[in-house]
Structures are given as structure tokens and as C-alpha cells.
Chain A
Amino acid sequence: MNSSHRGLLFIPAGFFLLMLLLLGKALFWNQREIPSALLNRPLPEFSKPTLDNPNQTITAAGLRGDILIMNVWATWCPPCHAEHPHLVRISENEPDLVFVGVNYKDDAEAAGEFINTRGNPFAYILTDVDGKLGIELGVRGAPETFVVDREGFIRFKYEGAIDENVWQEKFVPVISQLN
């Protein structure tokens, strides 16, 4: 009887070890760059309504031909609020790039309000209410930003808020290669 109780006491240690293994594994995933599985792969196929007009849908194929900056954002995400004004300025300075917003698991009304009052850096805003597109893109959290080339291949991904410095250091070199 006692020995079986003693066994139960090992449960916390077991859980802890499992968690430690997980954290150890996670430590070596390179957080801020694209996972190798998606790098240089085509953008997943999707067909999503836009935020301002639910009847208009945008497909992955329809976006082909331009270099896309796909930004995954949501009003519930604090860093997205911090990122937004930077994104507005960057998009104003980069007329050749097509900025596509993916409004991730968000409330459409709040998102519309957010864009109306804080400026719209995007050519299109896709709504991803159920988060399916986010999952296919391998989104870990918001904000995340993808660079997609003219043929529709994902070339770069950045996790976290963008500002002008990040843009210059991380995005500009990738984009100049694509040109």
C-alpha cells in the first residue's frame, strides 16, 4: 500500500522532466526565422474574405505577381499596437511592395475601427476568424511578417513587432535579393 503511494510522489518530478525536455527542444528552434519546413515553399492556397467587404475574397493565386509583405496582426495583440504606426510609415516608403494584412482570430468590428482610426498600411486585409490560415502559415503568435516573392514562394518570416530598424536590417536585404 505504502509503496504504491510512494510511486505517486514521483508524478510531479515526471511532469517536470517532460516540461524540461520540451523547453530544451524549444530552445533550439530558431525563434525569429522561418521554420525550414516552410522556407522557399509556396504560400499555402487560401481563399479569404476581406475586412472591408466580406463579399470580396482574395486567393493566394490572385496575389501572385507582386512581392508581398504579409503581416499577421490582431487587435488583441499588444505588440501589434506598437508595430502599427511603424508599419504605416514603412508601407508609405515602399510603394513597390504589396502589403497584405492577415487579421488573425479577431473581432471584425474592432479590427475595422482600429484600421479606420490608426491608418491602413495594407492593400488588402484578409480576415482569418477561425485562424486556419494562420495555422497553415505556421503562425506562432502575432505579429508575424512574411516576405513572399513574385512567384508566390515564402522567402522570409519574422516573428515580433517590426520597426524601421528591423525593417532595414532584416527585410531590406531579403527584398533587394528578390528584385
Chain B
Amino acid sequence: MIPEFGNFAIILALGLSLMLSVVPMLGAARRQLQWMQTARTLTTGVFVFMLAAFIALAWSFLQDDFSVAYIARNSNTALPTYYKLAAVWGAHEGSLLLWVLILSLWGFAVSVFSKDLPIDMVSRVLSVMGMVEVGFIGFLLFTSNPFERSLLNIPTEGADLNPLLQDFGLTVHPPFLYMGYVGFSVAFAFAIAALLSGRLDAAWSRWSRPWTNAAWSFLTIGIALGSWWAYYELGWGGWWFWDPVENVSFMPWLVGTALIHSLAVTEKRGVFKSWTVLLAIGAFSLSLLGAFIVRSGVITSVHAFAVDPERGLVLLCLLLLIIGGSLLLYALRAPVVAGNSVYGEQSRELYLLLNNIILVVSMAMILLGTLYPLIHEAIYGEANKVSVGPPYFNTLFVPLMGGMSFLLGIAVFTRWKRTPVNHLISSLRPLLLLSIVLGLALPLILQAEFKISVVVALALALWITATLLMDIRNKVRNKASFMNGLLSLGRAYWGMQLAHFGLAVIICGICLTSQYSVEDDVRMQPGDEHEIEEYVFKFEGVREIVGPNYDAQAATITVTKSGEPYLTLQPEKRRYRARGDVQTEADIDVGLFRDLFTALGDPRGDDAWVVRIHVKPFVFWIWLGAFFMATGGVLAILDKRYRRERIRKNSRLDNSSVVSNTIAINEAGNVSTKSFDSNETRGLVEERV
């Protein structure tokens, strides 16, 4: 019965989302308050029923209900309980259910946290999300139903979850990734609602910002988790492969990053409106494109779900309706008249525009590289195929990011509208020199091999760090005390600085690990030793162990560091009993400055094994930097101004318009906002300017 309840819940959610996509939208057009007021209730309803469906599937997994075809394919009685839950999203149907659940969760979150928004705006936003929900709930129900039963021949045992997915990193990777992908639907819905109502104002961009930050932070963590998983689970020590599916998760991230910056300009200065709307549509569209590429199998990839052209065709139609429709709306309704504010050559607007251009060009080159095999085939015929490998992506992406990192350092220093050039040069020149000198000196101090790419990367990372520290110093300088100054800076400011610092950390991690890693695959017999730098790895032999649903061969490798006993690593090679799949479990000693990576290869006779021993300096910094970035995004959401806005509206502070007028005049007269000392006024300044 439980699966039927789940199925019924999806049908109810589809009905409610159909109403949600029509009634509040019509209400907003006809100014019918009662129709508009249904938006929140319907949104909640869709979420509740999707949650019910999800729980029903999870419950059926726990009950080992193999009459449900999806469960029979992806679970097994011997599967540990934790992985039975994770198996809910282990393949196409269940992961689509999670996708839709998360979509309805974001809708629900908007309905809860939008109490201060005008009701017509709320109805349009939720209604647009309802339209997306209709499409995907329909897709779930009619082409990919996870509750489909095979009652005639109920298997007594399931086929088990793909062993690659039986891992903590991968169980949490999809939920985070989907929270990110689908989270961009909120910024998308705000943009569509603004286009429909013709009100592309500061309020629209202010409301979009925290939602975009939230989705972006989730996506950052999701991508980082995927990369971390690849690093330790796939067993060959790599962390990014420019695989098509990695690329499709990275493209919305790049556009989302551009969107965060562009929204800042649109909110503060009222320019780039059309561009910002396009980015908001683009970020979500690329997420949908990613869903299509992964689930239709048009591009061969390690991540691909089961291939089904019919499903692909339905998804393609959904893409046409959602993306095509919104781009058409954009072409017809986006404002063509530029905002009336002007900005000079050395303004923050200009640098953020450059940042946007670089990010979007990077996205475009990744998109081209990912689709190029298809383009080539379409032009030259099916017999004429090419493939695009990492060299293409690295050659283009690395210099683009280098350029962006350099500009970032300058951008932090610029002011809105115009920055005196002399001031820029005089304050930045010493920092630039310092970064280059330190970049040159560090490899020498650390006695590492001299490589020009390392010097450039280190100099860029130091440049970002130095400029952000200098900026903090400048901001704090005029305050009564140092601590006082630090505390007076808003959370959004700290969020920005932390995210930028995260970029510097990632640059260090990527560059140092790709230049200085030692990666040895060695044939070892028990007693053999292998030396890398100050570490000696001794292969003690392999023993058999029995896991809950697998048998494994586990190697024991004792490591000594500079002659002292250091630790023991136990990489495994597992054979999962249900499917007979073999899976490598690397054992890694994670450190802040280097990882010791060991994985067990194949047996070579005479008790000899191929053992993979890598020493990877600074690899941890890649994920540490991503964590800083995501935390920066979260900090920005927690900024006081979003809450103060609410408090102020609730208390109906009547003089707020007077205050903001004064500030507008001051701003036009180039009076620094520093002249407003009280914190309360500063908050208002930030909101209004």
C-alpha cells in the first residue's frame, strides 16, 4: 500500500502545482486578492505531498519492498540501512523525485520568508515556480515513476546499489548539488516575475540576492563534495576530469557567480538590469541543461544514468517550454534603455562587468567544449567524430581565471561610480610588488623545484589575499579602535572577503598539488619499501576481510616519516557480493599541507600487488577553499540588512523615506557614507543606496 500512497501523493502534488501555476498568476494580472492569496497555500501543499511521496519511497526501501521495480534494481537486503536511505536517490527515478522535492522545498522556503514582499510579487514568483513544478512532476509521474510495481514476478532479492555510490561523500553529494541547481529556480522565478510585471527595480534585485547566494553556496559545496568523492573513491587520486557531467555542474556555478556580482551592481547602482535578468535565466537554464545531459545520455560520461531517448525527448520539450519561453519573454520585455546612472573608467561597476564577462566567457568555452563532439558530428556527419580532452579546457580556463584573479584584487579597491586613478595605483603598486616577490621567494624558502606556473599562481593568490587585507585595514583605519572597526563591518562584507580568500586558497591548492604531487604506481611484495620524500611506505601484505555486503582484500601499509613510525594505511579492494562489482577503497592520510594517498591495484602473482602511492601537497586546500567560498555566501545571507529591512517594515518607521532621501542627495554629492556614524543609519544607507 505504501507505494500507492506515494504515487497518489505525486498525483495530488501535480494537481496542486497545476493550480499554482494558473490561479495566483491570473490573480496578479487581474488584481484579485483572493486568487493571489492561494499562492502560499498551494506552494505548501505541493511541498507537503512531495515530502510524503519521498517518505513513502524511503519507507519502501527500508522495508525491502522489491515489488517496486526501482527498489529491486537499486537495493538489497544486505545493504546497510544507511545506504538503503541513500539508495532512494541512487538512480534516475529516485534522484528525480529528490530533485522535485527540493524544487518544492525552495518554493516553500520562498513562501515562508517572503512575508514583506508585495502580494502580487509573491504570487507571480510562486506561480512561476509552480509552472516549473508542473513540468517536472509530470515528467516524474509519466516517464520516470519510482513507484512502478512489477507485481507478476516479485524478486526475492534486489540487485543492490551501485557500489560506487555506497559511500558517505556520494550520499550527500546529490542533495547538495540539487539544492544548488534547483535553488537557482528562485532567482529565475524572481526574474520572470519582474519581467512579467515590468518592475525591474532595486527591490527585485535586493530580494534575489540572498536566494542566489543560498543556491550558489549549496552548489559550491555540492561540486566540492563530488570532486572530493572522485578523489578518494575512484582510486586514482584525481579530483577534476573535465568530464561532461562535471562541466554541466560547473557551468551554472560560473553563471551563478556572475549573477551574484551582477545583482550587487543592479541593486546598488541600478545598471546592468537586462544583463542581470539574463544571468538569472541563464543560471537556472544551465541547471536544466545539466539535468538533460545527465539523464538523456546524449553525451557519454561516467555519471550517466540509464539511457532512454524517449525520456530525453520529453526533457527536451520541457527545456523548450521553460528556457525557450523565458528567453522569448526576455527578448520581448527586458528593458532596452540603459539605467540613467553613469560610471567612469575606474569604477567598481566596470570591474564587476569585467568579472562577469570573464565568468560568462569561461562558461561559454566549457559549453562549447562539452557540446563540441556533437557540433562536429552534426556538421561533418556521423562518421566524423572528435573528442575534447582536458588539454582544451586547461589551456583556456587557467589563463581566464588568472586574469580574473588579478582584476579581483583591483576591484576590491575601487569605489562605485569612479575611483581616482592615482589613488588606485599608489595603494596597489606596493601590494603587487610584494605578491610577486613573495611568489618568487616562497618556492625557494620551501626548497621546492622552481616552476614559473607556481610562481604566477602563488603571486595571484597572495595578491588576492594582500588586497583584501589592505581593504580591511582601510575600512578599519578611521574607527575608534581596531576591534571596534572589525565589528562595524557588515556580515555581507566579511562574506565577500571570505569567499574571495577561498578563491586564493583554491588557487594555491590546485597549482601546488598539480605541480608538486608525486604519483607512483609500484609493484610491491610483502616487505617491499617505497620512499617518497621523507616518507617510507612499507607493504606488509594483503589479508581477506568480510564486510556487510562485500568481501575485500585489505593491504596493510606502514608509513615511517623521517625514520620515525608514523601511521598505518589500509587501502581495500572490495568485491560487492550482489553484483560482483569490484571497487577500490583508497586510504588517505589527510593533512593540511599534504595528503598521503594509497590505493590497492591488481594482484601480480607471488603475493605481489600494484600499489598506488601518492604524496599530494596542498590538495586539501581545494576543498578548504570551496568551504570558505560557501561559508562566505552564507555569511552574506545572514547580513543584518535583510533582517533590519523586515524589522523596519514591521514597525512602520515613517521617517525612513526622509532618511533615504537625504542619503540619496549625499550620495549624488559624493559624500562618503562614513559620515553616518550610528549603526542604525548605516544599515539604512546600505539598503537604500
Residues of A within 8 A of B (CB): 2, 5-6, 9-10, 12-13, 16-17, 19-20, 22-29, 31-32, 35-38, 74, 76-79, 81-82, 85, 88, 105, 113-114, 117-119, 131, 134-135, 138-142, 159-160, 164
With both beta carbons as reference points, the residue of chain B lying nearest to A79 in the complex is identified as B302
The answer to whether B309 touches A27, judged by C-beta atoms less than 8 angstroms apart, is yes
**Chain B residues within 8 Å of A134, by CB:** 387
Q: Tell whether B327 is near chain A: CB-to-CB under 8 Å.
A: yes
Which chain B residues border A32 with CB–CB below 8 Å? 307
CA distance A29 to B376 in the complex (A): 13
A22 surroundings in chain B (CB, below 8 A): 371, 374-375, 378
Min CB–CB distance B315 → chain A (angstroms):
9
B417 to chain A, nearest CB (A): 24
* Residues of chain B with a CB closer than 8 A to A28's CB: 309
Give CA–CA (A82, B241) in the complex, Å.
Answer: 14
Task: Choose from A10, A26, A82, A114 the contact partner of B298 (Cβ within 8 Å).
Answer: A26
Decide if A140 touches B387 in the complex (CB within 8 Å).
Answer: yes
Identify which of B373, B385, B391 gathers the most chain A CB atoms within 10 Å of its CB: B385
Residue in B closest to A30 when the chains form the complex, CB atoms: B309
The yes or no answer to B312 lying at the interface (CB within 8 A) is: yes
Q: B434 within 8 Å of A by Cβ?
A: no
Could you tell me the distance in whole angstroms from the C-beta of B478 to the nearest C-beta in chain A?
A: 44
Q: Is B324 an interface residue (CB 8 A)?
A: yes
Candidates A16, A23, A77, A117; contact of B292 at CB < 8 Å: A23
Establish whether residues A118 and B601, one from each chain, have CB atoms under 8 Å apart when the complex forms. Answer: yes
Q: Does B662 contact A (CB under 8 A)?
A: no
Is A88 a contact of B602 with CB atoms below 8 Å?
yes
A13 pairs with B331, CB closer than 8 A: yes
Which bracket fits the contact residues of B? Answer: 35 or more
Interface string of B378-404 (1 = CB under 8 A from A): 100111111101110000000000000
Contact between chains at A118 and B323 (CB < 8 Å): no
CB distance from B169 to the nearest CB of A (A): 16
**B225 to A: closest C-beta gap in Å:** 17
User: Which A residue sits closest to B579, measured CB to CB?
Assistant: A165
**A12 and B601 contact, Cβ closer than 8 Å, known pairs A27-B316, A76-B389, A117-B521:** no
- How far, in angstroms, from A105 to B392 measured CA to CA in the complex? 12
Contacts of A77 in B (CB 8 A): 389
Is B467 on the interface with A (CB-CB < 8 A)? Answer: no
With A28-B309, A138-B383, A159-B300 already in contact, the answer to whether A5 and B336 are too (CB < 8 A) is yes
Residue of B nearest to A135 (CB): B386
16 examples of A-B residue contacts, CB within 8 angstroms: A2-B337, A6-B331, A9-B336, A12-B278, A13-B324, A22-B374, A22-B375, A23-B296, A25-B378, A26-B299, A26-B377, A27-B313, A38-B383, A74-B389, A105-B391, A131-B386
- What residues on A are CB-neighbors of B374 within 8 Å? 22-23, 25-26
A81 to B320, CA, bound (A): 37
Cα distance, A82 to B303, chains bound together (Å): 13
The residue of chain A having its C-beta at the shortest distance from the C-beta of B164 within the complex is A82
Main secondary structure of the interface of A (DSSP, over half): helix
Per-position binary interface string of chain B over residues 600-612, scored 1 when its CB falls under 8 Å from any chain A CB and 0 otherwise: 0110100000100
Contact A13 B382 (CB under 8 A): no
Chain A residues with CB below 8 A from B307, complex form: 31-32
* B330 beta carbon closer than 8 Å to chain A: yes
Shortest CB distance B231–A (Å): 12
Among candidates B328, B381, B610, residue contacting A13 with C-beta atoms closer than 8 Å: B328
Interface residue? B297 (CB, 8 A):
yes
Instruction: Give the distance to chain A from B636, nearest Cβ to Cβ, in Å.
Output: 28
Per-residue CB contact flags for chain B residues 568-589 toward chain A (1 = under 8 Å, else 0) read 0000000000001010000000
Given A38-B383, A117-B610, A10-B331 contact (CB < 8 Å) = yes
With A12-B330, A118-B521: A135-B300 Cβ-Cβ less than 8 Å: no
Give every chain A residue within 8 A of B582 (Cβ-Cβ).
85
The answer to whether A16 and B521 touch across the interface, beta carbons within 8 angstroms, is no
> B523 at the A/B interface (Cβ < 8 Å)?
yes
User: Are A35 and B316 in contact, CB atoms less than 8 angstroms apart?
Assistant: no
Q: How far is B298's CA from A134's CA once the two chains are assembled, in angstroms?
A: 20
**A16-B285, A23-B374 known; A138 and B331 CB under 8 Å?**
no
Among A22, A23, A88, A159, which residue has the most Cβ atoms of chain B within 10 A? A23
Knowing A9-B274, A27-B298, A117-B610 are in contact, say whether A35-B383 is a contact too (CB < 8 A).
yes
Over the window 232-263 of chain B, the binary record of Cβ atoms lying under 8 Å from chain A Cβ atoms (1 yes, 0 no) is 00111010010100000000000000000000
**Is B536 located at the chain interface by the 8 A CB criterion?**
no
Instruction: Say yes or no for B319: interface residue by CB 8 A criterion.
Output: yes
A159 to B307, CA, bound (A): 13
Picked from B243, B327, B383, B523, the residue with its CB within 8 Å of the CB of A16 is B327
Which residues 308-352 of B have a CB within 8 angstroms of A? 309, 312-313, 316, 319-320, 323-324, 327-328, 330-332, 334, 336-337
Going nearest first, the 3 A-B pairs with the smallest beta carbon separation are A37-B383, A117-B521, A13-B327
Cβ B384 vs Cβ A135 within 8 A = yes
**How far, in Å, is A141 (CB) from chain B's closest CB?**
4
Q: CB of B172 within 8 A of chain A?
A: no
Measured between beta carbons, the chain A residues less than 8 angstroms from B386 are: 131, 135, 140
CA distance A8 to B234 in the complex (A): 46
List chain B residues, Cβ under 8 A from A81: 234-236
A12 touching B382, Cβ below 8 Å: no
A9-B336, A17-B324, A141-B373 given; A29·B382 CB < 8 A: yes
Complex-state Cα separation, A78 to B292, whole angstroms: 22
Please tell me if B522 contacts chain A, counting CB pairs below 8 Å: yes
Query: In the complex, what distance in Å separates the CA atom of A113 from the CA atom of B327?
Result: 50
Q: Could you tell me the distance between the alpha carbons of A27 and B590 in the complex, rounded to whole angstroms?
A: 42
Give complex CA distance A2, B274 in Å.
Answer: 14
Task: State A135–B376 Cα separation when bound (angstroms).
Answer: 11
A138 touches B384 (CB 8 A): yes
Q: Is the CB of A117 within 8 A of B523?
A: yes
Q: Are A117 and B601 in contact (CB under 8 A)?
A: yes
With A6-B331, A10-B331, A141-B373 as contacts: A20 and B387 at CB distance below 8 Å = no
State A57–B319 Cα separation when bound (angstroms): 49
Are B316 and A142 touching (Cβ within 8 A)? no
A118 to chain B, nearest CB (A): 6
Chain B 650-670 against A: per-residue CB contact (8 Å), 1 yes, 0 no? 000000000000000000000
Instruction: Report B620 CB to chain A, min CB distance, Å.
Output: 21
- Residues of A close to B390: CB separation below 8 A: 76
Taking a contact as CB atoms under 8 Å apart, the answer to whether A12 and B316 are in contact is no
What residues on B are CB-neighbors of A19 within 8 Å? 371
Alpha-carbon separation in the docked complex, A22 to B523 (Å): 47
Contact B385 A31 (CB under 8 A): no
Q: Return B254 CB to nearest CB of chain A, in Å.
A: 16
User: Assuming A9-B331, A10-B331, A16-B327, is B316 touching A2 (CB within 8 A)?
Assistant: no
CB closest chain-A residue, reference B610 = A117
Contact assessment for B234 and A78 in the assembled complex, using a CB-CB cutoff below 8 Å: yes
